[in-house]
Amino acid sequence: MTLFAGALPGRDTPISTSDRHAVNNESLHPPFPDGYATLVLGMGCFWGTEQLFWRVTGVHVTAAGYAGGDTPNPTYEEVCTGRTGHAEAVLVVFDPKQTDVEILLQVFWENHDPTQGSRQGNDIGPQYRSTIYVTDEAQLECAKRSADVYQQQLARAGRGDITTEIKPLDTFYYAEAYHQQYLEKNPGGYCGLKGTGISCPIN
């Protein structure tokens, strides 16, 4: 049984994507340097989210993709139907010696509205939900703790409950080549990122 009734069947082979990052020319695909860690985050449309994180000190590489759903190797068009279960998400590969999960999560919480459920601003649908997909137990505990801290801040400001999905990463599927580093290739492109204006003091 799938999480989303009527999930699309997808395909056995990955869809075509980019090999290298358009900003720093690093490989988008593993193996990544020894000791580096990965985290997958969804904040609505992945174009602005990816740009946000490739600018963070200590981030090695980012990639746009799909995570948290049931359909294997989905296309963008399939994800947009809401019938794959996936969220638009960004793979963040980082050097723990230069940054840490708490810093990345602070950037995450402060740059979107995590209380909106299956939408982010004018972008409506389950693919735009707020998500944190972790790759180890320490990240999971840190994500849950940061959510508790930020919920307290939101409540003090009269905001609603956090709806962010926090769970271990199953599979990250790379998005099509034209989505990778989209705002680097299209500087005037759409970016729907908008925070609440409320800080997250998790550090």
From CA 71, how far away is CA 12, in angstroms rounded?
Answer: 10
DSSP 135: S
- pLDDT, tens digit (0-9, with 9 covering 90-100), for 36-69: 999 999 999 999 999 999 999 999 999 999 999 9
Residue 200 annotated among the catalytic residues of the structure = no
- pLDDT, tens digit (0-9, with 9 covering 90-100), for 119-169: 999 999 999 999 999 999 999 999 999 999 999 999 999 999 999 999 999
Q: What is the 3-state secondary structure (H, E, C) of 61-120?
A: EEEEEEECCCCCCCCHHHHHCCCCCCEEEEEEEECCCCCCHHHHHHHHHHCCCCCCCCEE
Which of 3-17, 49-63, 127-141, 170-184 bottoms out in mean pLDDT, i.e. has the lowest? 3-17
Confidence of residue 3 (pLDDT cuts 50, 70, 90): very low
Rounded (10°) angle between helices 137-156 and 101-110: 40
Give the model's pLDDT for residue 6.
83
- pLDDT, tens digit (0-9, with 9 covering 90-100), for 61-118: 999 999 999 999 999 999 999 999 999 999 999 999 999 999 999 999 999 999 999 9
Terminal-residue alpha carbon distance, the chain:
40
Q: Which residues contact 155 (CB under 8 A, 6 or more apart)?
A: none
**Is pLDDT of 18 > 80?**
yes
CATH code of the region 37-185: 3.30.1060.10
Q: What's the mean pLDDT in 194-203?
A: 90
* Alpha-carbon radius of gyration of the chain: 16
**Is pLDDT of 5 > 90?**
no
Confidence of residue 182 (pLDDT cuts 50, 70, 90): very high
Better-scored residue on pLDDT, 3 or 131: 131
Q: Which helix (H) or strand (E) holds 145?
A: helix 137-156
Give the model's pLDDT for residue 203.
66
